[in-house]
Structure 1
Amino acid sequence: MPAPSRLPRPPAPLSPRQPPGARWRRRLAGAALLVATLCAASLAAPPRNEGSRPYDKSHPFTVRSVATFDLPWALAFLPDGRMLVTEKTGQLYVVTAQGAKRRIAGVPAVTYSGQNGLLDVALSPAWRDDQAIYLTYVEAGTGANLALARARLDLDGAALRDLRVIWRATPDGNPRGGGKGGQPGGIIAFSPDGRYLFLTSGDRMRPETAQDNDLPLGKVLRMFPDGGTPPDNPWAEAGGARALMWTMGHRNPYGLAYAPDGRLWLHEMGPMGGDKLSVEAPGKNHGWPVVSYGDNYNGTPIPRPPTHPEFQEPVLYWTPVIAPAGMIFYRGDMFPQWRGSAFIGALRAQALVRVAFDGQGGAREANRWNMGARIRAVAEGPDGALWLLEDSSEGRLLRLTPAQEQ
């Protein structure tokens, strides 16, 4: 005999606190919010290509040369106004604002060739208590690992004490993690509260490593200042190389900095085109080498990011390239009109680039000043002056102040 027809269930009784129709109104509101969210996502502006932006016609600042170095790479300010400057060839100096230099002993041996050598320097967030600094470098020897070390800086004795490597790309000696390839990355950034250390690790000119979960190359790493693993990292429970990974799919990341609103921004060099500026968010894959806004050096095309929506898109990119290097967010008083902007050095474009932000996740290149030299690093001095390092065997340390200042 035929199965009995199933009667519809009676409606659930209404809560005494809930007027008739309230549940459906909430459901409709939720559906409308979901539709609006999806529409906003689908209508999000594509990344801006700023590659062809012309140089500004004039400089709104005065440039003064303070000192020269042999292939300088990074600088960091001490609380008393002196600076630490690294040379890629393996030297570290403490430098006064007037340009007097003193070499620091005890720097670890480095592999210096091409893009490799002594790289970034950063002060410990607890500097006043521990007088510690952090260095990144490509280690000497056949392994040529990117390494991150911590040491106490003895300013009176002009030496590093108690130096200890707290991270290296392949502690087990895996040759896939080191080698002679360039593009080491090596930029250090601390979270605003000082609890976490972020480190960029390049793909060492082996693009496939950026998507390899067993290697820390082509990644941004997040760790405690002692090198330990934060338990809330995206893949902390996986252990091994994955435990410290924050994001992946990077090529040659040479800029990492927190904006005043708390967002972490990263820039990296593309191949033939496709330098880019992106927001860092935990667990995201930025797509290299599967996608890029540039092409391979041999001319073969690379799929563009919109063809793979699973990857994180940049906010802006540069084709033709500028070869970005170094980045800060300006917070000072000497150039109040630029407060909140990012300043980026440009190697290929030989420029200082200013990027402005709209407060809603968007960005644009606002200025490009021709500096007549490859700009490797940018820093903000205690008084708000901008400081630059040129990438040259006679690279100058430059101080930029408003044009009207004498």
Structure 2
Amino acid sequence: MKRSVLAPRFVRGCALLSAVVIAPVFATAAVVETDDGPVEITEMVGGLTEPWGIAFLPDGSQLITERDGRLLHATVDGPTVEVTGVPEVWAEGQGGLLDVMVPADFAETREVFLTYSKPQDGGEAGTALASARLSDNGTALEGLADLFVMTPGGSRGQHFGSRVVEGPDAHLFVTIGERGNRDLAQDLTVHNGTTIRLNRDGSVPEDNPFVGQEGAQPEIWSYGHRNAQGADIDAEGRFWVVEHGAQGGDEVNLVEPGVNFGWPVISYGQNYNGTPIGEGQTKEGMAQPAHYWDPSIAPSGMAFHSGTAFPDWEGHALVGSLKFNYIAVLDPSDWSEVQIESDETLRVRDVAEAPDGSVWFLSVGNGAAYRMTPTE
């Protein structure tokens, strides 16, 4: 382990073909100096409203979610269009349309996966995972269906998670925040504060760690999480998450089956009023983070880099900061950190690698998607 220094709105996709919503951006590159040398950052898609997740189709075009409930298809050389047929979302606080994931077999199946905050009974909302087929012309979701909906999440507007990633064996991993009810992160009878693992069709794998344990939710893969808004699979097939602490104590965690990551019993942060959290920083039976930040950087999207565009970053974890407006490039061998900071990295919500190996990120502050490449 290493440390680094109002009623809810329900939004439903419209049933008719949407008009073009965003014109192509005339790409101009900014050269940004970093401790690892200069990089070029180019705005590729502008005019976005609180973008949350980005995923790439095989042709290099992108699917981008906006938290208020829109899914956009940014074509390679043409306009950006709104995709119809999205689920109804609870667009309140941190809730809404959240992550999007394109699986490895998209060219054969045209299947995509979405996470979102789903309206539940009594004014509550919880993290859900849905799948659908993207139409051949890329403008509509077809056959949308929920694969998973968490146990009642509560009426608070915070801590939904929620990233979805595809494991090396085609299992799906989803992160779920504790929904602002911290004690539930230690309760296996609910999904709050967990990561879950599902088969592609939403069924539960027989080798999940809590299958058959009385009272436990069988989807749970790990627990004791606060709010993991970043996740990825590394080159060795290992599942990692980055999650928000309270005041300090943001964490990078290597997730193993059945592991308890301690929230809110242990933490490297403190409550926002300055009082201690739980019982301290360590406790037997609770895992330590691989890395943590204090003060908090408010980490969001995470991506391991293949080294295609930036050979020196092969295997490094790129993590966006919502608080300090940069991208952290972390070397897992010692968790040393290089920071990519510029006018473009204003509140970075997601980081992803494109099919050509370039690094893309979403800026909430600028309402844009950017492409980062080496300087020529």
Regarding TM over 0.5, the answer is: yes
Matched, 1:364 2:342: no
1:396 to 338, 361, 368: 368
- Counterpart in 1 of 2:38? 60
Is residue 151 of structure 2 the alignment partner of residue 179 of structure 1?
no
Aligned to 2:4: 50
Structure-2 separation of matches of 1:116 and 1:99:
30
- TM-fit CA distance, 1:96: 2.5
Secondary structure at the residue paired with 1:166? strand
Q: TM-score by structure 1 length? A: 0.81
- 1:148 equivalent among 126, 129, 140: 129
Q: Determine whether 1:72 maps to 2:65.
A: no
Deviations 1:54-89 (A, max 9, x none): x95686211111122000001000001100000001
Q: Which residue of 1 aligns with 2:147?
A: 166
* 2:348 is aligned with 1:334: no
The one-letter code sitting in structure 2 at the alignment partner of 1:165 is D
What's the TM-score, normalizing by structure 2? 0.87
1:321/1:396 CA distance change after superposition, 3 Å: same
Name the residue aligned to 1:43.
Answer: none
Query: What is the CA deviation profile of residues 335-384 of structure 1, one whole-angstrom value per residue up to 9, with x for unaligned ones?
Result: 112111111111011101101122xxxx4133012234110011111221
Structure 1 residue runs of 4 or more that deviate by more than 4 Å after TM superposition: 55-59
The DSSP-based 3-state class of the residue aligned with 2:129 is strand
Q: In the alignment, residue 366 of structure 1 is paired with which amino acid?
A: E
Aligned AA (1:226): D
Per-residue CA deviations over 1:217-246 (Å, capped at 9, x if unaligned) read 100101101111111111111366521111
Tell me the distance in 2 between the aligned counterparts of 1:379 and 1:58: 19
The separation in 2 between residues aligned to 1:292 and 1:375, in whole angstroms, is: 24
Name whichever structure is richer in helix by fraction: 1
In 2, Cα distance between equivalents of 1:157 and 1:245: 33
Offset at 1:186? 1.4
Provide the C-alpha distance between the structure 2 equivalents of 1:137 and 1:262, rounded to a whole number of angstroms.
25
Q: Which amino acid aligns with 1:215?
A: V
* Greater mean deviation of Cα atoms: 218-227 or 125-134: 125-134
> 1:91 corresponds to which residue?
70
Which residue pairs with 1:383 in the alignment? 356
1: distance between equivalents of 2:244 and 2:138?
A: 38
Q: Deviations over 1:161-203 (max 9, x none)?
A: 1100111012xxx4xx232331100100111232x11110000
TM-superposed CA distance for 1:263, in Å, is 2.0
C-alpha contact (below 8 Å) 1:135/1:150 kept by paired residues: yes
Question: Does residue 300 of structure 2 align to residue 325 of structure 1?
Answer: yes
1:204 pairs with 2:179: yes
Shift of 1:150: 0.7
Distance 2:314 2:197 in 1: 27
Contact 1:58/1:369 (8 A) holds in 2: no
CA deviations 1:29-78 (Å, max 9, x no partner) are xxxxxxxxxxxxxxxxxx21102xxx956862111111220000010000
Cα drift, residue 290 of structure 1 = 0.6
2:101 maps to 1:122:
yes
Range moving further from structure 2, 156-165 or 120-129 = 120-129
Counterparts of 2:160 and 2:35, CA distance in 1: 35
1:314 aligns with 2:314: no
Pick which of 62-71 and 283-292 moved more.
62-71
User: Is the contact between residue 202 and residue 219 of structure 1 (CA under 8 Å) also seen in structure 2?
Assistant: yes
After superposition, give the CA deviation of every residue in 1:86-113 in whole Å (9 maximum; x if it has no partner).
Answer: 0001000110245720110011121112
SS of the aligned residue for 2:302 comes to: strand
Over aligned residues, Cα RMSD in angstroms? 1.8
Contact 2:92 2:157 in 1 (8 A): no
Letter matched to residue 291 of structure 2:
L
Computing the radius of gyration over CA atoms, which structure comes out larger, 1 or 2?
1
SS of 2:71's equivalent? strand
Structure 2 residue aligned with 1:13: none
Does the CA contact (< 8 Å) of 1:169 and 1:178 recur in 2? no
What secondary structure, in the 3-state scheme, does the structure 2 residue paired with 1:186 have? coil
Alpha-carbon shift at residue 115 of structure 1 (Å)? 1.0
Query: Where in structure 1 are there 5+ consecutive unaligned residues?
Result: 1-46
Aligned to 1:35: none
TM-superposition CA deviations, 1:241-266 (whole Å, max 9, x none)? 52111100000101111111222211
Percent identity between matched residues is 38
Separation in 2, partners of 1:122, 1:157: 15
Matched positions, count:
343
1:345 matched to 2:320: yes
Secondary structure at the residue paired with 2:217? Answer: helix
Question: Is 1:222–1:230's contact at 8 Å kept on the other side of the alignment?
Answer: yes
Distance 1:124 1:259, change over 3 A: closer
2:231 alignment partner in structure 1: 256
Paired with 1:151 and 1:89, the residues of 2 have a C-alpha distance of 19
Once the two structures are superposed, the pairs formed by residues 25-44 of structure 1 within 5 Å of their partners are: none
1:375–1:390 CA contact under 8 A, matched in 2? yes
8 Å Cα contact 2:35-2:338 kept in structure 1: no
Structure 2: runs of 5 or more not aligned = 6-32
